[in-house]
Structure 1
């Protein structure tokens, strides 16, 4: 009710003038008044006339500045909100009988501002059926891929029709008119951490019996004297503690509460962010090391890639250009490829891929030698918003906002196909072929980040809440973390490949208001910013060490980093069975079958009878050297080394070997910046904040206590 608040505030000067100019006020003021009775009478009469004029002006001013219905308390609401059985004015005057009359429209009718009732089918049809235009007010222009909620005029993706869960406020998308004949809404089951309302709506269990009805039928406030922990464990993943009034979810030692009711293991390495890559935490001590291809800086402890300096390739309205990560050697690559399009790269042959914004054309550009003529690979494939290269299987993935899909093609474009369809607004995409993972981000009405196999099977949501508009994603492969930049929340965040250990690492400082591209390398995160026309970087752990690498870039767009360590070779998971091929993994994505897959093929000359022998069991490792088993093994090695070598070996490790050991007393651990985790100050009582899952942005939620919201 922004308009109501604005109008209410804007009317205050008139009310103040009325009070100041009233006879009673002036009588007690220090202003001189006429001493004779006739002068006093004339003075009072003039003041009465002035008050009348002010009241008239106030009434006219209020009507002229309120485009909808003027509430009796001075607020202003839209005409479409008038007499809709929901009070929008603070005083409820938009639903009073003297406003709406005695007529109440039926459930399948729309209540016009003129007190007329018209069929909901006439809502937002381009014709004024109410006579006052209220049936066409606040209507959105829904495209063919969306369904119109007639009562509210809002749009819902057609993929959500008849899915068993109402998305229109009145459930129209699940009604008989919306669902084809014979198609019955699929039964929707709320998750274990949710409570099912009578209309099928799902609410967090923590909202049950909190003295505030959240279900349309107030079912969440029934039978509140029972032990909620006896039903589905209260929706808690681990411990449920019943209270005299409500319940709370708790976690065992070594775990913490996230998502209102779920517990995840505490990873001290990820929480503290002491190490740049490999990390072991034992008894308050951290040991850091680097992956193959990197060397640890003895001064900063950062893992630096061996070889040449990495190149950062970016797109803009002035063409495709490149610069090294130090901000030097700024060069032009393709001057006539104009526009801030997404980018990807194949480092093996130093090739960059770029998509022309809005036209669906994908080009290939070589980085070697003089600027070469770009090669047009694909044309007319809709609005491409994200690109990614699978360097192991030589595949190109991209997101298509027009077809609401993720598509895939061979790098030589000899074959292509739609891989995953039915997405709302796919934006960024990334691949990790060594683990067999495909990641993508979605905006729109249900923003999220998901993971699947490279064949599109085995989808797993990673982020579904406290996310607004993720525009790009990037992978930190050494730590198995996914980073995303959210233009709505103006933040850069990260999460593990398993969906745990979420953390916000960079918040807007004036250079993160309209981001476009994102990349992660070594100890830094890089992004393009369109409002400030710049390319920026910051520490990937906490957003410190911010700097502008390139200023004054006209409409900067996608960016990609080029260095061999970013695309390492090695045995890759083949498909979703967790196996690694002994010889070669062949992607079977383009045979025209409905089930794309990856298949191990035997070596040339074999009979093919021993195909099963071409696959070996492979268990996907957790985050490198950060789980309990790895920590135990490596800590044993460290202890034995110290016992055998003594002080001399310890000195040699400190001075000559690129590794370091830090004690917990040497630094203060930062509080988690996970927007789903609340870490209260000591001695302070926690009051949970109720946040709608559909609008959950950056509010933090701690233990689930049942509190009386009316007393707060």
Structure 2
């Protein structure tokens, strides 16, 4: 128990000391006392874990139940898997051209990745182990550095630093739409939170920043704009409700909340982080790839301690993910699940916007060149969905006009083929 004791000495009367104990909210400290949820009480606090996790004997940390977590990562010319518990190390896909972005879909046992040399997005089975073939689901995507799966609504999001766009498709790539095509310079990592229907991405261009928008492209805003140069990797801690990112030029690993507030620098070192590229978080650890070290490392997500090398002497470590079923739990309802939300084309998650009455939890998008009609469900030139939902009307989708521009891959400019190597805790004592 932490308390502040304030003593008052009374004069002209019998000497007497009054002590008043003021409770400190330990849950607001950093590093926080709990790895997930912290509940403050008078003079004390308690830690709780999300469903599927067990509180460890230290009564602060949470351990995931179920299968062992796996680190999966693109290594430019292949995709590999590392078992964090058993140290089993396997190749999943070999003989790739230039694999960069990566994510997974637990329910279908699928991996999704981008190949910036082929200019395609591909899909393959998680348990391939070098024996299967990859399926091309999208072509002509130019330079897609980041990719993220919305496992609840069944959609795929990616950044394209060649086209300076953010796009979305269904999981087989048959329906796709550009949702953001302005104000982007060098978009890179992208992460989605289907619970809130918000997505986050990094942009390492002339005005580096981390941005947030609804997963339908609306309500866009910059949430981190200072002390950034090359914001590369980005990850969501769904259970602590935090964002983590690495900066390849600042040599930092940092965190903040979903609004960009309560920002903390966890690691700041050009020897530990000479050129970090991608980041993932699970349980109490944060994981990252580093181009210069050609390695994958991990450390405590709050203070950077207990740092170890997981894998070294890699070829070109790019994006990584920690794969575990709890990271794709059914956090919320699939609002597109019933008859595709009544949409004639593509249904995506949409955030509830406080200043818009009855804002819907989903939105209907159209192919590039078509517009949504007045019913908010049907694209121009298409046949309406036979079953239109009447319980909620989605917000009108943003204009989906692609804006072709030259782009870059890696911290590199004007070429898709060349890489340019380019807690404080304040304790106030009242006396």
Normalised to the residue count of structure 2, the TM-score between the two structures is 0.74
CA distance in 1, matches of 2:319, 2:97: 12
Other structure's SS at 1:412 match: coil
CA pair 335-479 structure 1, distance change in 2 beyond 3 A: same
CA distance in 2, matches of 1:364, 1:498: 33
Name the structure 2 match of 1:192.
none
Pairing of 1:679-698 with structure 2 (within 5 A): none
Decide whether the 8 Å contact of 2:70 with 2:322 is kept in 1. yes
> How many residues were matched structurally?
348
Name the structure 2 match of 1:576.
351
Other structure's SS at 1:471 match: strand
Quote the offset at 1:268 in angstroms: 3.8
Q: Which has the larger radius of gyration?
A: 1
Structure number with the bigger relative contact order (C-alpha 8 A, sep ≥ 6) is 2
Name the structure 2 match of 1:421.
181
Unaligned runs of 5+ in 1: 1-265, 616-669, 673-678, 683-712
Pairing of 1:408-487 with structure 2 (within 5 A): 408-422=168-182, 423-487=184-248
Confirm whether residue 524 of structure 1 aligns to residue 277 of structure 2.
no
Name the structure 1 match of 2:273.
512
CA distance in 1, matches of 2:54, 2:218: 37
CA distance in 1, matches of 2:167, 2:93: 25
Decide whether the 8 Å contact of 2:212 with 2:220 is kept in 1. yes
Decide whether the 8 Å contact of 1:320 with 1:338 is kept in 2. no
Name the structure 1 match of 2:46.
287
Quote the offset at 1:283 in angstroms: 3.6
CA pair 269-327 structure 1, distance change in 2 beyond 3 A: farther
Name the structure 2 match of 1:36.
none
Confirm whether residue 392 of structure 1 aligns to residue 170 of structure 2.
no
* Pairing partner for 1:382 from 139, 142, 150: 142
CA offsets, 1:626-656, max 9 Å, x none? xxxxxxxxxxxxxxxxxxxxxxxxxxxxxxx
CA offsets, 1:329-377, max 9 Å, x none? 1001111124351211111122111111344211112112553211111
Decide whether the 8 Å contact of 2:365 with 2:372 is kept in 1. no
Name the structure 1 match of 2:101.
342
Confirm whether residue 406 of structure 1 aligns to residue 176 of structure 2.
no
CA distance in 1, matches of 2:48, 2:192: 25
Quote the offset at 1:587 in angstroms: 4.5
CA distance in 1, matches of 2:373, 2:314: 44
Other structure's SS at 1:566 match: helix
Return the structure number with greater helix share: 1
Name the structure 2 match of 1:611.
391
Name the structure 2 match of 1:655.
none
- Between stretches 508-517 and 486-495, larger displacement belongs to 508-517
Normalised to the residue count of structure 1, the TM-score between the two structures is 0.46
Decide whether the 8 Å contact of 2:35 with 2:62 is kept in 1. yes
CA pair 509-452 structure 1, distance change in 2 beyond 3 A: same
Pairing of 1:493-504 with structure 2 (within 5 A): 493-504=254-265
Name the structure 2 match of 1:593.
371
Confirm whether residue 671 of structure 1 aligns to residue 424 of structure 2.
yes
CA offsets, 1:195-225, max 9 Å, x none? xxxxxxxxxxxxxxxxxxxxxxxxxxxxxxx
Other structure's SS at 1:611 match: coil
Other structure's SS at 2:30 match: helix
Confirm whether residue 360 of structure 1 aligns to residue 151 of structure 2.
no
CA distance in 2, matches of 1:340, 1:514: 18
Name the structure 2 match of 1:562.
323
CA distance in 2, matches of 1:403, 1:310: 35
Name the structure 1 match of 2:17.
none
* Pairing partner for 2:309 from 541, 545, 548: 548
- The CA RMSD over aligned residues, in Å, is 3.0
Unaligned runs of 5+ in 2: 1-24, 336-348, 355-359, 378-384, 395-422
CA pair 553-369 structure 1, distance change in 2 beyond 3 A: closer
